[in-house]
Amino acid sequence: MDSIEPFLSSDQIAARLKEMGESITADYAGHDLLIVGVLKGTFMVMSDLVRQIRLPAQFDYMAVSSYGAATKTSGVVRVLKDLDQEIAGRHVLICEDIVDSGLTLNYLIKSLAVRGPASLEIAALLYKEGIQRVPVDVKYVGFRIGPEFVVGYGLDFDEKYRNLPYVGILSQS
């Protein structure tokens, strides 16, 4: 049986995303943004965050996979869907749900950087503190959390729980 202990409420998440949106709006003033969502987990974070960004923006998505049904990273990143748009000369902001080992973002940053964007930064709702296996520089972090496995608000365990409106800590017995 799975049990889920509430961890971050929808109100807490909304308040933090508003602050992040304000920082992003200020930092990119005068620029157009290309916001890149990393599917699938980011769909909820992205839709709520971008409504707090007051700038001309365009959107694209990548799909990568590094997890099967397990709660531990496999260390292997597979690109399931690349960007539709060219990013050369553009200000690119990657939007992620969570940074765990960092392997996914490290791989994405390396593969996008060679395409010559004007800038390339990351916004992530959650950042698991101190457990990165590779360095990742995340400019906009919603919440720094512990190593627990979390679900909800886009995050899944075995494709379940993405539609919970809050973030909870999953425990299995």
Contacts with ligand IMP, residue ranges (CB under 6 A): 41, 66-67, 73, 96-104, 149-151, 155
Task: State in angstroms the smallest separation of the CB of 46 from ligand IMP.
Answer: 12
Residues 6+ positions from 11 with CB-CB distance below 8 Å = none
Residue with the shortest CB distance to Mg ion: 41
Task: State in angstroms the smallest separation of the CB of 173 from Mg ion.
Answer: 26
Q: Closer to Mg ion at the Cβ: 41 or 168?
A: 41
* Whole-number Å distance between alpha carbons of 72 and 98: 14
102 belongs to the binding site for Mg ion (CB under 5 A): no
Return the structure tokens found at 44: 């909820």
Is residue 100 among the annotated active site residues?
A: yes
21 belongs to the binding site for Mg ion (CB under 5 A): no
Catalytic annotation, pick one of 82, 100, 137, 158 = 100
Q: Closer to ligand IMP at the Cβ: 30 or 147?
A: 147
Coil, helix or strand for 113?
A: helix
- Looking at the DSSP bridge assignments, the partners of residue 80 are none
* Whole-number Å distance between alpha carbons of 53 and 41: 20
| CA 70 from centre of chain | 19
Any idea which residues carry the catalytic annotation? 100
